[in-house]
Amino acid sequence: MKRFVDLADLGRDEVLSLLELARRLEKQPEPHALAGKQLGLLFFNPSLRTLASFQAAMARLGGSSFVINPGQGSWQLETRPDVVMDGAAAEHVREAIPVLASYCDALGIRIFAEGRDLEHDLAEGTFNAMAALTDKPLINLESAVNHPCQALADWKTLDDLAVPRAARFVLSWAYHPRALPLAVPAAALHMAALRGMEVIVLRPDGYALPAPLMERARRAAAASGGSVRETSARDEALEGAQVLYVKEWGATACYGDAAADARLRSALTDWCVREDWFAAAPECRVMHCLPVRRNTAIAAAVLDGPRSVVQREAYNRLPAQMAVLHRLLRP
Amino acid sequence: MKRFVDLADLGRDEVLSLLELARRLEKQPEPHALAGKQLGLLFFNPSLRTLASFQAAMARLGGSSFVINPGQGSWQLETRPDVVMDGAAAEHVREAIPVLASYCDALGIRIFAEGRDLEHDLAEGTFNAMAALTDKPLINLESAVNHPCQALADWKTLDDLAVPRAARFVLSWAYHPRALPLAVPAAALHMAALRGMEVIVLRPDGYALPAPLMERARRAAAASGGSVRETSARDEALEGAQVLYVKEWGATACYGDAAADARLRSALTDWCVREDWFAAAPECRVMHCLPVRRNTAIAAAVLDGPRSVVQREAYNRLPAQMAVLHRLLRP
Amino acid sequence: MKRFVDLADLGRDEVLSLLELARRLEKQPEPHALAGKQLGLLFFNPSLRTLASFQAAMARLGGSSFVINPGQGSWQLETRPDVVMDGAAAEHVREAIPVLASYCDALGIRIFAEGRDLEHDLAEGTFNAMAALTDKPLINLESAVNHPCQALADWKTLDDLAVPRAARFVLSWAYHPRALPLAVPAAALHMAALRGMEVIVLRPDGYALPAPLMERARRAAAASGGSVRETSARDEALEGAQVLYVKEWGATACYGDAAADARLRSALTDWCVREDWFAAAPECRVMHCLPVRRNTAIAAAVLDGPRSVVQREAYNRLPAQMAVLHRLLRP
């Protein structure tokens, strides 16, 4: 494994091997495995879990990290190709990425979707252009439509909880005051499909996940013995579900049109997960990648109740990423 | 010791034991004592000494740290209980605190007083609610009305300078352009009382420290053979004083009313410590936790003169906190 | 070597010795050389290379670092002497510098020129006043008119590329939307002169480097067998040049007058380095310290072409600074 940018690049066996490594590192710490190794972390967008857990993961393996936040302590970086740089950005990623890579052994990059043009975001042009600028081990800390670190931690969480491979996994849209990116729903969808689960995407009209993402998940499901379908019928979807994976995202029917999206979502405030959603799914677990808005996306009672495994998911970022770092830097 | 949130929780013997450990670590470095250990630092408010000295303390003991600043590189965190999160904050501390704690071996939290309601701030509701969210070793990096790391460093400073236990310790209000929190005066008051000193709180009318803080200090003094009283008569207070501990704070007579506070303090600009304050206290040392505004709270000549021990206090944050970390993480 | 603040303080032999150490550390890593050592980094201005490469350099030698950004996570620091501090800054560098120095084994400080008064900036009063506040090993991370870390990395780059000592080195002004400080041109000028090169400063009218900087470079050149002259005739300067060192800087003819500078530079947008500059210098390398604005200061085709060695320069910050740290902290 030379890069960790997309679970789909790895295939099922490589993911299973990473998960095994994560479990081993959880039980048998290797405090010197990455002694002398350095991780560079470049965050174009805010972070809590990724920022803390990657630094912690490197430290637990004996390595260290540095963090660059363009616009905060560092200047803004230009990502668009072929521009005359007479605006706010002082430096282009064409210079910055190879430079940062030359100071470290592995580089992580976070850059969210622009949220204007769906085709552009689906193509991952911004992340891929940066990824092409270095040969160093590279980690996707969340890109336009992917978040493989979260997906790997989620898969480990499902394993930790002994959720059967064939269980019903409902990925449900939830309300948020504004349109959020597709990265986490796309990554969770693919992860559950690749794991071989019965995946149902539950979302209101206008919020269907883009066809290429659904198609990719169907291919992964087919290879893994799982299935993928979508619906807007909540009761039917949740019947017998063992996992409800909750996530907020922007309308795909009017992607990039904030006013149209706001009109659509204003009628959807009841997509806040409450206990009464689970009448026909008594054992159902609730997952969410965090951050989550209490009583907006998920009721406090659900988050604080026994269904919620959000803390386990967040914690699993640490061993999952230790496995990724170990595999990349100690091949 | 499982947490370090308030000197009053520890009692005199535990504080003396920490100070002994601090002196030992100063003389006999233990560069591997906390190898593999990780400190998480969560700053809701700005910092210079705390931010630098905790990272340095962990590094000197062989451990490492990560820093989270909500609103800078990380999103804003909601601290109020039971809210519908439709505002600026993306995540609630109910999620964030346990998550961060799961990535580290000890967690430090700084959150200043809201400065609106005195009862609320005295109850330490915000800090305590966060502290209740984790079982991990916890460090108070300054809360609404406490700053135990500063108090421990100050005690060590008094010991370093061989200030007698029974010496007169004057905690004096000083001018600042705006109302500052009560955390440091409250912590210094309690520290000096617990040390057994003759404590005098010197402050203008309207700036008396809240009765519960005075009462708690009196109990500590009684147990340690010291005393606590308050006055607005500067000459009388300073006569024979061996320590003048200078601090700016907001009016308690009109707590949370910025306009009323501003009117009160506008007449108090002469509460800037000058050399002529010490006519009847020739040996008196000047302490201040920093940051301090030169020629506003303390005259430059005093800060730069031989009375000032502010650098010693600031330096002592390092060994004091090394002792705290050592005690918490290597029990 | 007790400080690294100006190549001119060191002299040629000490620089050559540092470069030899840099090459040795590149080939023979010393992962424990600075075990237990701590570097404090104080940035009054943004940074990318310096911020990342100093943390990486300490880590590669077994040490660690902390970073303070006044105004971001820490409050603003006052640098002016003898002020009544009733403004935005909460703390004076007279307190902050010794405090931070007391937490670490070496301190680095970055503070750009104020850009108002040329005499003031040339005197390095702000940096020197801070430097005078500590006896600890000190590193200049870029001051008003100096950037010795960049200069050392640039010298190593010239050596790496086997650029002859007597080769023609053209330091050329380039266009930027606004006036930038003189630190890098001043440092590059002195470095090339001290190396013994044939140095030509190429700049439009109004942008001559200040006489004291030229004079100092001439003295260094005289001692090293090199030469220094200046011109505004591009073709003549570039003829046979082996290095074009590109940098943007503010007009010295109207230093501190942004409007006058803007009028001057508005006619100079053709000072964007293009391939056709090199007709009479086919082997000429292009250097730039970065950040650089593509298609504004240097055409993308030049930056992406074989002449550009900007990545090598940036990478060399790492071994050059490892040598500086090694020499300061392991004398």
pLDDT value at residue B33: 97
Q: In a structure prediction context, what are the per-residue pLDDT tens digits for chain A, which is 331 residues long?
A: 999 999 999 989 999 999 999 999 999 999 999 999 999 999 999 999 999 999 999 999 999 999 999 999 999 999 999 999 999 999 999 999 999 999 999 999 999 999 999 999 999 999 999 999 999 999 999 999 999 999 999 999 999 999 999 999 999 999 999 999 999 999 999 999 999 999 999 999 999 999 999 999 999 999 999 999 999 999 999 999 999 999 999 999 999 999 999 999 999 999 999 999 999 999 999 999 999 999 999 999 999 999 999 999 999 999 999 999 999 999 7
- B293 contacts on C by Cβ (under 8 Å): 85-86, 90-92
Terminal CA-CA length for chain C: 8
Give the separation between CA B250 and CA B262, rounded to whole angstroms.
9
β-bridge pairing B198-202 and B227-231: parallel
Element (H, E) at B324: helix B310-329
Tell whether the model's pLDDT for residue B330 goes beyond 90. yes
Question: Which residue is closest to C289 within chain A, CA to CA?
Answer: A95
pLDDT value at residue B277: 98
Superfamily of domain B3-147+315-329: Aspartate/ornithine carbamoyltransferase (3.40.50.1370)
Tell whether the model's pLDDT for residue B18 goes beyond 90. yes
Closest by alpha carbon to C242, among C166, C150, C312? C166
Residue B251 banded pLDDT, cuts 50, 70, 90? very high
Q: Give the angle subtended at the CA of A134 by the CAs of A129 and A139, to the nearest 5°.
A: 80
Q: What is the pLDDT of residues C220-230, one digit of tens each?
A: 999 999 999 99
Average pLDDT on C170-190 reads: 97
Tell whether the model's pLDDT for residue B107 goes beyond 80. yes
| Interface A-C: count of C-beta contacts within 8 A | 95
Give the separation between CA C237 and CA C168, rounded to whole angstroms.
9
pLDDT value at residue B46: 97
- C318 contacts on A by Cβ (under 8 Å): 102-103
Q: Which amino acid is at A307?
A: R
| Domain ranges (residues) in chain B | 3-147+315-329, 162-308
Closest by alpha carbon to A322, among A3, A55, A140, A109? A55
Taking a C-beta distance cutoff of 8 angstroms, is the pair A2, A328 a contact?
A: yes
Question: Which residue is closest to B293 within chain C, CA to CA?
Answer: C85
Average pLDDT on B213-239 reads: 98
Taking a C-beta distance cutoff of 8 angstroms, is the pair B261, B180 a contact?
A: no
Taking a C-beta distance cutoff of 8 angstroms, is the pair B324, B53 a contact?
A: no
pLDDT value at residue B331: 75
| A3-147+316-329: CATH number | 3.40.50.1370
What single string gives the DSSP state of each residue in B87-125?
SS--EEHHHHHHHHHHHSSEEEEE----SS-HHHHHTTH
- Determine, for residues B295 and C84 on separate chains, whether the beta-carbon distance falls below 8 Å: yes
| Interface B-C: count of C-beta contacts within 8 A | 95
Number of neighbouring beta carbons within 10 Å of residue B295: 18
pLDDT value at residue A74: 95
Q: Which residues of A make CB contacts under 8 Å with C?
A: 35-36, 38, 40, 64, 66, 68, 72-75, 78, 82-86, 90-92, 94-96, 98-100, 102-104
Give the separation between CA A61 and CA B127, rounded to whole angstroms.
32
What single string gives the DSSP state of each residue in B210-260?
PHHHHHHHHHHHHHHT-EEEEES-HHHHHTT-SEEEEE----STTTT-HHH
Give the separation between CA B307 and CA A88, rounded to whole angstroms.
49
What single string gives the DSSP state of each residue in A270-328?
T-SB-GGGGTT-TT-EEE--S---BTTTB-HHHHTSTTB-HHHHHHHHHHHHHHHHHHH
Taking a C-beta distance cutoff of 8 angstroms, is the pair B214, B182 a contact?
A: no
Average pLDDT on B282-305 reads: 97
pLDDT value at residue A294: 97
- Determine, for residues B48 and C83 on separate chains, whether the beta-carbon distance falls below 8 Å: no
Q: Which amino acid is at B319?
A: P
Taking a C-beta distance cutoff of 8 angstroms, is the pair A188, A171 a contact?
A: yes
What is the distance, to the nearest Å, from the Cα of residue A192 to the centroid of all Cα atoms in its chain? 12
| Cis peptide preceding A291, ω within 30 of 0 | yes
Give the separation between CA B180 and CA B49, rounded to whole angstroms.
17
- Determine, for residues C303 and A94 on separate chains, whether the beta-carbon distance falls below 8 Å: yes
Nearest-CA distance B258 → chain C (Å)? 17
Q: What is the pLDDT of residues A251-301, one digit of tens each?
A: 999 999 999 999 999 999 999 999 999 999 999 999 999 999 999 999 999
Q: What is the pLDDT of residues C75-93, one digit of tens each?
A: 999 999 999 999 999 999 9
| C162-308: CATH number | 3.40.50.1370
Burial of A26 (0-12, 13-18, 19+ CB in 10 A): middle
- DSSP collapsed to 3 states, C154-180: HHHHHHHCCCCCCCEEEEEECCCCCCC
Q: Which residues of C make CB contacts under 8 Å with A?
A: 29, 31, 43, 46-49, 51-53, 55-56, 59-60, 62, 64, 67, 69, 72, 177, 290-296, 300, 303-304, 310-311, 314-315, 317-318
- Determine, for residues A84 and C296 on separate chains, whether the beta-carbon distance falls below 8 Å: yes
**Nearest-by-Cβ selection for C36 from B60, B72, B296:** B60
Cα-Cα-Cα-Cα torsion A133, A139, A142, A146, nearest 10 degrees, comes to 90
Please list, in sequence order, all residues whose beta carbon lies within 8 angstroms of the beta carbon of residue A156, skipping any fewer than 6 positions away: A19, A22, A23, A316, A319, A320
Element (H, E) at B4: strand B3-4
Please list, in sequence order, all residues whose beta carbon lies within 8 angstroms of the beta carbon of residue C316, skipping any fewer than 6 positions away: C22, C153, C154, C156, C157, C160
- The structure tokens listed for C246 are 């590109």
- B28 contacts on C by Cβ (under 8 Å): none
Tell whether the model's pLDDT for residue C112 goes beyond 80. yes
What is the distance, to the nearest Å, from the Cα of residue C285 to the centroid of all Cα atoms in its chain? 19
Question: Which residue is closest to C74 within chain A, CA to CA?
Answer: A73
Please list, in sequence order, all residues whose beta carbon lies within 8 angstroms of the beta carbon of residue A134, skipping any fewer than 6 positions away: A97, A98, A101, A107
Closest by alpha carbon to A39, among A60, A53, A54, A21? A54
Q: What is the pLDDT of residues A191-206, one digit of tens each?
A: 999 999 999 999 999 9
Q: Which residues of B make CB contacts under 8 Å with C?
A: 29, 31, 43, 46-49, 51-53, 55-56, 59-60, 62, 64, 67, 69, 72, 177, 290-296, 300, 303-304, 310-311, 314-315, 317-318
pLDDT value at residue C28: 96
Chain C: partners with 3+ C-beta pairs within 8 Å = A, B
- Determine, for residues B95 and A300 on separate chains, whether the beta-carbon distance falls below 8 Å: no
Give the separation between CA A196 and CA A188, rounded to whole angstroms.
12
- Determine, for residues B52 and C100 on separate chains, whether the beta-carbon distance falls below 8 Å: yes
Q: What is the mean pLDDT of chain C?
A: 97
**Nearest-by-Cβ selection for C68 from B29, B48, B62:** B48
Residue C157 banded pLDDT, cuts 50, 70, 90? very high
pLDDT value at residue C11: 87
Residue C44 banded pLDDT, cuts 50, 70, 90? very high
Give the separation between CA C201 and CA C173, rounded to whole angstroms.
8
Query: The complex's ipTM?
Result: 0.97
Average pLDDT on C7-32 reads: 96
pLDDT value at residue C268: 98
Nearest-CA distance B78 → chain A (Å)? 9
Chain A: partners with 3+ C-beta pairs within 8 Å = B, C
Taking a C-beta distance cutoff of 8 angstroms, is the pair A193, A163 a contact?
A: no
pLDDT value at residue A331: 75
Dihedral sign, CA of C144, C149, C153, C155? Answer: positive
Q: What is the pLDDT of residues B27-43, one digit of tens each?
A: 999 999 999 999 999 99
Nearest-CA distance A220 → chain C (Å)? 39
To 10 degrees, what angle do helices C310-329 and C12-27 make?
A: 100
Helices (H) then strands (E): counts for chain C: 13, 12
